[in-house]
Amino acid sequence: MRRVSRIAVAGAATAALAVTVSACGGTSSDAAASKDDKNKGVAIAYDVGGAGDQSFNDAATVGMKKAAKEFKTGEKAVEPVDGESDADKTQRLTQLAKQGYNPVIGVGYAYAPAIKEVSEKFPKTTFGIVDDETVKADNVSDLVFSEQEASYLAGVVAAKATKSKTVGFVGGVDVPLIHKFEAGFAQGVKDTNPKVKVVKQYLTEKAEDGGFSSPDKGKTAAQGQIEKGADVVYHAAGLSGQGVIEAAAAKKVWAIGVDSDQYKQDALAKYKKYILTSATKDVAGSVYNLAKAVEDGTAKGGVVRADLKSGGVALADSNPEFMKMKDVQEALKKAEEGIKGGKIKVKTAP
């Protein structure tokens, strides 16, 4: 029963990010594309946390680099700025479109207003936005995921692995997207063992306050949950999740990672013994697939949803200790079949 995420972020992402830093705060590698090329390649605008978050943004980078290598085009990734406005995002996307990149992808729901505005000005450019489906346009692909399904499986794991009958959830920002992670996780726990208590905490109300980019906040939240008895802590907090994992390792309890297979990431190697699994979503695959569609001339607007059945979300199985837990694996198999077959309907809100 292979349950590995398709996102091979470990090592590759870190190495891939060792590229030239441009004056505007982005990274680019355009050597493969000549100035005469109509399409310079794929460009991504990072969400908060930026490159090196070992999660969401790094996964997008892997997809970008795969596309650039396969299609022999250029690539460009641009960093966010602390406290930036929608106008800053709009300017960033506008510059990428003007420079001839196609597709231009905003990594994160915060790009919705900017994507909507810029896509109207550049109707011949394909735009993508990860984790948002509110922008409706013929040249915008909404790249979304059924995060609640992978989170449900994480809840099953937590309920089976806990010895204290208390598990924790740390959300980066108190927004509907992260509510999906909480809802799926809590449902998975309850359906598996209703006697297990879920303690939860959101780090901030707004993304600009650092909910996705503050490992110290994640560490403090996890420490508080562990003090309350949690011996399994699941995070959906981007870069802040590194602090959650650090806190779990310090107390020798289980952490469950998110977005990418965090067990395999070099930056978290010293904590990997305590990363039981990760609820992954194939951001890399979505970025690559959109770039391929542009290359093939088949790109079109609309919602592109990845779920458990399609393999777009999953649980990573890199930790050998996780795979040795027979009762956990049996429960997971049953839950996976239930979700894929439609018997289990996973909630998207708490």
Q: What's residue 236's pLDDT?
A: 97
Q: Flag whether 306 is in a domain.
A: no
Q: Are residues 83 and 125 in the same domain?
A: yes
Each residue's pLDDT tens digit, 251-276: 999 999 999 999 999 999 999 999 99
Total domain count, the chain: 2
Q: Flag whether 154 is in a domain.
A: yes
Q: What's residue 84's pLDDT?
A: 87
Q: What's residue 207's pLDDT?
A: 87
Whether the CB-CB separation of 344 and 309 falls below 8 Å is answered with no
Q: What's residue 89's pLDDT?
A: 96
Residue 38: which of 62, 86, 79, 74 has the closest Cα? 74
Q: Are residues 200 and 234 in the same domain?
A: yes
Q: What's residue 12's pLDDT?
A: 37
275-281/313-315 β-pairing: antiparallel
Q: What's residue 50's pLDDT?
A: 84
Q: Which residue has the higher pLDDT, 37 or 50?
A: 50
Q: Flag whether 193 is in a domain.
A: yes
Q: Of 118, 143, 168, at which residue does a domain stop?
A: 143
Domain containing 84 equals: 40-143
Q: Are residues 199 and 333 in the same domain?
A: yes
Q: Are residues 110 and 206 in the same domain?
A: no
Q: Flag whether 150 is in a domain.
A: yes
The pLDDT confidence band at residue 39, using thresholds 50, 70 and 90, is: confident
Decide if pLDDT at 6 tops 50. Answer: no
DSSP code of residue 348:
S
Q: Which residue has the higher pLDDT, 106 or 26?
A: 106
Q: Flag whether 14 is in a domain.
A: no
Q: Flag whether 197 is in a domain.
A: yes
Q: Are residues 113 and 165 in the same domain?
A: no
Could you report how far apart the first and last alpha carbons of the chain are, in Å?
A: 30
Decide if pLDDT at 29 tops 60. Answer: no
> What is the chain's mean pLDDT, rounded?
89
Q: Are residues 129 and 160 in the same domain?
A: no
Q: Are residues 203 and 324 in the same domain?
A: yes
Each residue's pLDDT tens digit, 61-115: 999 999 999 999 999 999 998 788 999 999 999 999 999 999 999 999 999 999 9
Q: Are residues 190 and 331 in the same domain?
A: yes
Q: Of 103, 127, 143, at which residue does a domain stop?
A: 143
Q: Flag whether 6 is in a domain.
A: no
The pLDDT confidence band at residue 38, using thresholds 50, 70 and 90, is: low
Q: What's residue 305's pLDDT?
A: 95
Q: Are residues 175 and 226 in the same domain?
A: yes
Q: Of 80, 113, 143, at which residue does a domain stop?
A: 143
Across 248-340, where does the E strand assignment appear?
A: 254-259, 275-281, 302-306, 313-315
Q: What's residue 136's pLDDT?
A: 96
Q: Are residues 268 and 128 in the same domain?
A: no
Whether the CB-CB separation of 156 and 188 falls below 8 Å is answered with yes
Instruction: Identify the H or E element spanning 78.
Output: strand 74-78
Q: Flag whether 109 is in a domain.
A: yes
Q: Are residues 158 and 125 in the same domain?
A: no
The structure's pTM equals 0.85
Q: The domain spanning residue 136 has which CATH number? A: 3.40.50.2300
Q: Are residues 115 and 164 in the same domain?
A: no
